[in-house]
Structure formats: C-alpha cells, structure tokens
C-alpha cells in the first residue's frame, strides 16, 4: 500500500507534464501559422512560438528524466541500503561464527573432488606439508619446479600464531627438496629446483625472515632461487603459495597473520594455470632482487631490497602525517 502512493504521484506528475507539453505545442503551432502564413499579429509572435517549443522540449526532458533515471536512482539506493546492512551484520559477527561459516563452505567445496578448502593456518600448513612429501616421493621422469610465494608483505615462515608444530613440519618438508653440496639429503630432490619469492613491507620483517632462514640457506643448497620484493604495505591477498607437479595452493593472508585460509587445486590443468600465474609474478620481479641462488647469499641484492623497503616505509610515514 505504501509503495502504491508514490507510484500514483509519479504517474499523475507525468500526465501533467505530457498534457502541458501538448498544450504548448498547439499554441506554438497557432502562433507560428498566424505569424508566417496569415500575416496576423506582431513580429513577436514568431519568437514566442519558438520559445514555446523550447519550453516544450524542456518539459519532455524533465519527463524522460523522471521515467528513466528515477527508477535507477531508487535501485542504487536500495543496493546501498542492503550493502550497509550486510556490512553491519558482518561487523557484528563473532570470529567463531565466521570460522563456522568457512568450515561449512569448506564441506561443500571439498565435495568437488579437485578442490579442497582449509580454514585455519594449521590446516593450510599441514596440507602443504602433505603435498610436498607426496611430490618428493613420486618418481619424476622430467625436471620439476617447486614454486613457493608470499606476496602479502609478511614473512610466511615467521608469522604463525596458532600453527607452530605444523610450521616446523612444513619447513622440514621444504628443506627436504634441497640439493646440498656434500651430497646429503634425499637423492630424489635432484629432480627438483626451488623457486621462491617473498614480499616484505617492513625492515623488521626482512631481518626476521633472513635471520630465520639463514641457517638453512647457509647449507648452500644448489637448486634454490629466492627473490625479495618490497611492497607498499601489509595487504590482504589471495595468491599462489605452494605449487608442486600435481597440486597448487592459493593462500589468503591479511594484516593479522599469514595463511588465514587456503584452497588446494588438484590436477594438471589447475596446476599449470596457477604455475603460469606464479611465473608471471616471478618474471616481473627484477633479477637484481635475486637475494639467493646456487652462488649463495647476494649481499648486494639484500642491501638493494633493504633500501627499497625503507623508501616505501618513509613514503607511508609521510602519507600518515
């Protein structure tokens, strides 16, 4: 009932505009006919006819505006109202409710067979550990690339809040791919090379990552390449994290921690697609940012990345002033 009232008002207004425009048109035609063909009346009659026709045009434009744009404006207003309600509802949700919702979504996703969802850092880390161990255990007939990436601005191996045991197991699984100069390690790792990039937003994260990983890289693995890239700030991102020969993991990081949740895509088609995405990112990072290779740590590249991170941090501070 309340909606019918405004609709009737709009229809009445439109009819009034249409009738007025018609009346103006009739009067303008009479004035023009009298002035031009019958020679009746003063010179101003022709100009008056033109003004009346202009007034009619304005009236029709107003009518079209109400008919065409008002419904759109009302729809946009409804969408804005609904979005505001949705955001208010999300703000009011308890984190446990969000976790339960993600778990329910994961149940539906996992039924697809080629896609699995993990809803906590511990689940993500455990799944990637399992994938790495299975990949290394398979008999590979051609050289393979294990790709690892972290682009959110946080160090992927140094910012776990609730997955410490799983973090250690994941780190051990990564190290098992190292080909060491003394010949130690799993001989199947010789079929693999490791390619890794890490986005860093602060000097503290840069130092923390190097400090945590230096004992491992000081073993001088010969099949590892590592690039650092300075990022503007810690961002919420869903990006490739771990890619083997058969599985690809997309992991979500945000400002609070890494590996909040993740997706595992299984099968050669998915793996090739995500690997291409990863390789595009890798290619865009300059070779000058290669901080580790078979030659060992590149101190010049580390200093370059440090200056880049410091410059972005200084720019952030200026914006915040």
Q: CA–CA separation, 317 vs 314, rounded Å?
A: 5
CA angle 96, 99, 102 (to 5 degrees): 155
What are the pLDDT digits (tens) for 22-73? Answer: 666 666 666 555 555 555 554 555 555 555 556 656 665 655 555 544 554 5
User: Using an 8 Å Cβ cutoff, are 249 and 124 in contact?
Assistant: yes
Nearest residue to 264 (alpha-carbon basis) of 104, 123, 100: 123
pLDDT digits (tens, 9 = 90+) for 303-318: 999 999 999 888 877 7
In the block, tokens 């255990």 appear at 137
pTM of model > 0.75: no
At residue 228, the 3 state secondary structure works out as strand
pLDDT in tens, 14-34: 666 666 666 666 666 665 555
Distance, in Å, from the CA atom of 25 to the CA atom of 3, rounded to the nearest integer, reads 34
Please tell me the predicted confidence (pLDDT) of residue 45.
Answer: 52
């Amino acid at each position: 009932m309340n909606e019918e009232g405004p609709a009737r008002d709009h229809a009445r207004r439109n009819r009034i505009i249409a009738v007025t425009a018609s009346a103006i048109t009739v009067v303008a035609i009479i004035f023009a006919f009298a002035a031009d063909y019958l020679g009746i009346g003063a010179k101003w009659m022709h100009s008056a006819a033109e003004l009346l026709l202009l007034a009619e045009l304005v009236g029709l434009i107003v009518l079209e505006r109400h008919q065409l744009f008002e419904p759109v404006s009302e729809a946009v207003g409804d969408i804005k109202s609904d979005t505001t309600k949705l955001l208010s509802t999300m703000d009011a949700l308890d984190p446990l409710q969000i976790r339960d919702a993600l778990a329910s979504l994961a149940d539906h996703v996992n039924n697809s067979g080629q896609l699995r969802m993990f809803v906590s850092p511990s689940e993500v880390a455990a799944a990637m550990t399992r994938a790495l161990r299975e990949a290394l255990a398979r008999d590979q007939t051609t050289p393979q690339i294990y790709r690892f990436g972290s682009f959110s601005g946080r160090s992927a191996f140094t910012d776990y809040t609730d997955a410490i045991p799983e973090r250690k197991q994941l780190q051990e699984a990564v190290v098992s791919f190292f080909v060491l100069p003394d010949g130690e390690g799993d001989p199947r790792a010789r079929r693999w090379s490791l390619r890794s990039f890490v986005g860093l937003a602060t000097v503290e994260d840069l130092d923390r990552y190097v400090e945590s990983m230096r004992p491992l890289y000081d073993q001088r693995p010969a099949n590892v390449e590592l690039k650092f890239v300075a990022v503007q700030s810690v961002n919420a991102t869903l990006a490739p994290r771990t890619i083997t020969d058969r599985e690809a993991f997309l992991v979500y990081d945000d400002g609070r921690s890494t590996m909040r949740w993740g997706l595992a895509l299984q099968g050669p088609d998915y793996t090739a697609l995500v690997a291409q995405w990863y390789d595009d990112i890798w290619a865009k990072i300059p070779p000058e940012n290669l901080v580790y290779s078979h030659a060992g740590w590149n101190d010049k590249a580390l200093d370059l990345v440090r200056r880049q991170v410091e410059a972005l941090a200084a720019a952030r501070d200026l914006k915040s002033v």
